[in-house]
Amino acid sequence: MPELKRIMYVEDEPDIRAVAELALVSIGGFTVKMCESGAQALACVEAFNPDLILLDVMMPGMDGRETFRALRALPALRATPVVFMTAKAQPAEVEEYQRLGAVGVITKPFDPMALPDRVREVWQSSRQ
């Protein structure tokens, strides 16, 4: 099984980006590319070539669902696991994200100390 090394996180809130980047890099040891919008993610995702994409649902402009669909339209990214990050994680919403093709949902606010392990858990379950 390939190892999880490169993560792209698409999040419009600067505070959340900062906390997540610190947790994923300093605690998790990942190489992380932070993007503040779906458009920015689409502009650099192929060059970064992430192993996993963390995607905020609620963003201005392109929301998480639209960004997810645009990512899936890129041939190189069709199989890249995507995890939605959201404060809205009611069962019907989680089912919708899974129907779209997400491999998991991580609820915000998240515990920064636990985020790297949670990301690894979702990654491993998506590889089985």
| Domain at 97, CATH number | 3.40.50.2300
Domain assignment present for 64? yes
**Distance from chain centroid for Cα 76:** 16
Domain that holds residue 64: 6-126
pLDDT at 90 over 90: no
User: Using one digit for the tens of pLDDT, what is the confidence trace for 116-125?
Assistant: 999 999 999 9
Task: Tell me the whole-structure pTM to 2 decimals.
Answer: 0.95
When pLDDT is cut at 50, 70 and 90, the band that residue 2 belongs to is confident
3-state secondary structure of 18: helix
Q: How many domains does the chain have?
A: 1
User: Using one digit for the tens of pLDDT, what is the confidence trace for 34-67?
Assistant: 999 999 999 999 999 999 999 999 999 999 999 9
